[in-house]
Structure 1
């Protein structure tokens, strides 16, 4: 009995810990990639990220250019990145295809050399993680670095999929509310729903029953978005802030609050 137990224990320690599959569907048929297949690709290469969003330090990965994994993608397409923990974010294809500026990479965890745990008791980032080189050039937000990635798929524009999140047609195209809606999609919609609509399952709805603009002052809400721990000191909290101008400028933050304030007057109950 002891011998069998020891053999099982050795097997557990020798098996890959985080081997998994990644499904990619750009509308031309779904393709499932394994960690081993991605790591063995000819274009897989070492990539150094000086200020990694998830780990908050320099990280080195084995990674594949993300655009190389997305056949038939057009600049006006949108892609949805879905993580195993319920996080979901949309990224315009144009940003990924424009490799002359910021470049997106799919970092692939080697089961034999697992990544460290995320700081702040936030678990594990593997086995797939979208990282960026030169992200500030394209104003890539911290939400556009999805980890624990399970699926990438082409999708419709958010306003088409979730019309209750969009400002009414009467709102001018150059309104701060419309710009704030774009900022909301880039920064908030990855974790939150609004008016009961959205794919994410991590955070509360930002409009029903109450918008945060209804119970927090503008100054307090700005401080919270920059650093959630400034309002609620909670070590287990999952929300990460947007402390830098690179990820969320003051001007963009102002328009985000304008959008949330506007939507607080346009609640939709499902």
Structure 2
């Protein structure tokens, strides 16, 4: 038993192994190791005043993400896939801009690991998309994916998953259409709907039933605003969508989209 404990202590004392970032950008495909990125000539130390995942100021060694997106245009659509199945859908334009808000790929040094995200949880590494001056471009929390393993260029959500689309007869300014845009930004990273989507983290939000059908309206709002206040369990991963992330009007629009889609199952 003593030898097992000594071995375990030795293993825990060893640095993390180098990680690999996979870039699948259409005709261009590349892998970067964490060591290569940490030594990148454009890598630098950056400070994040209010880190979305750690909820405190953080310091990282990072590379401007635009430098890694060779061949990507502002009109393209990208997806960041995390180790746990989180799949963040991201228009390329904000990722390519050099300011005022700028996207950075923070790289975890295997010899100096970042802190855990919570008790019993891993860190945000090995690769984490962070932003300087995020408020300047209205960057949302869902645009800070962490534990990234792959970034790939894909067709738009509408083209890939037509069963997510609301009724085409709806006017352009319909709350349902606005809710669909919010669903893509805030929900599709973790949830599927009508079986459509790439995420593998949360349940489907329309099959077999839609949350607008089995939650009382007040409790559904409470679940979105503060999931842990409604039901608690240690492995819960759904974040709280506060007023600063999703206004009351935006929440109304999101719920309008979900209720609309309850009548549009395949």
Q: Output one character per residue of 1:84-113: Cα deviation in whole Å (capped at 9) or x when no partner.
A: 111101110111122323211100001111
SS in 1 for 2:139: coil
1:81-230 matches, within 5 Å, as 81-230=80-229
Distance 1:122 1:9 in 2: 19
Report if aligned partners of 2:28, 2:71 keep a CA contact under 8 Å in 1: no
Partner of 2:49: 50
**Per-residue deviation at 1:136?**
2.2
Report if aligned partners of 1:120, 1:235 keep a CA contact under 8 Å in 2: no
Report if aligned partners of 1:120, 1:236 keep a CA contact under 8 Å in 2: no
Distance 1:135 1:154 in 2: 23
Partner of 2:257: 259
Larger mean Cα displacement after TM superposition, 226-235 or 151-160: 226-235
**Per-residue deviation at 1:244?**
3.6
Aligned residues: 264
**Per-residue deviation at 1:20?**
0.7
**Per-residue deviation at 1:126?**
1.0
Partner of 1:249: 247
Where does structure 1 lack aligned partners over 5 or more consecutive residues? none
Larger mean Cα displacement after TM superposition, 185-194 or 213-222: 213-222
Alpha-carbon spacing, 1:244–1:62, altered in 2? closer, same or farther (3 Å): farther
**Per-residue deviation at 1:14?**
6.8
The reply to whether residue 25 of structure 1 matches residue 18 of structure 2 is: no
**Per-residue deviation at 1:17?**
0.7
**Per-residue deviation at 1:226?**
1.3
Where does structure 2 lack aligned partners over 5 or more consecutive residues? none
Partner of 2:63: 64
**Per-residue deviation at 1:219?**
2.6
Distance 1:28 1:126 in 2: 27
Report if aligned partners of 1:18, 1:114 keep a CA contact under 8 Å in 2: no
SS in 1 for 2:37: helix
Q: Output one character per residue of 1:49-71: Cα deviation in whole Å (capped at 9) or x when no partner.
A: 12211111111110111111101
SS in 2 for 1:30: strand
Alpha-carbon spacing, 1:103–1:234, altered in 2? closer, same or farther (3 Å): same
Report if aligned partners of 2:73, 2:93 keep a CA contact under 8 Å in 1: yes
Alpha-carbon spacing, 1:99–1:84, altered in 2? closer, same or farther (3 Å): same
Partner of 1:35: 34
Q: Output one character per residue of 1:122-170: Cα deviation in whole Å (capped at 9) or x when no partner.
A: 3232110111112222222222111110000101110111111111211
Runs (4 or more) in structure 1 with deviation over 3 Å come to: 8-16
Distance 1:256 1:101 in 2: 28
Alpha-carbon spacing, 1:168–1:120, altered in 2? closer, same or farther (3 Å): farther
Q: Calculate the aligned-residue CA RMSD, in Å.
A: 2.1
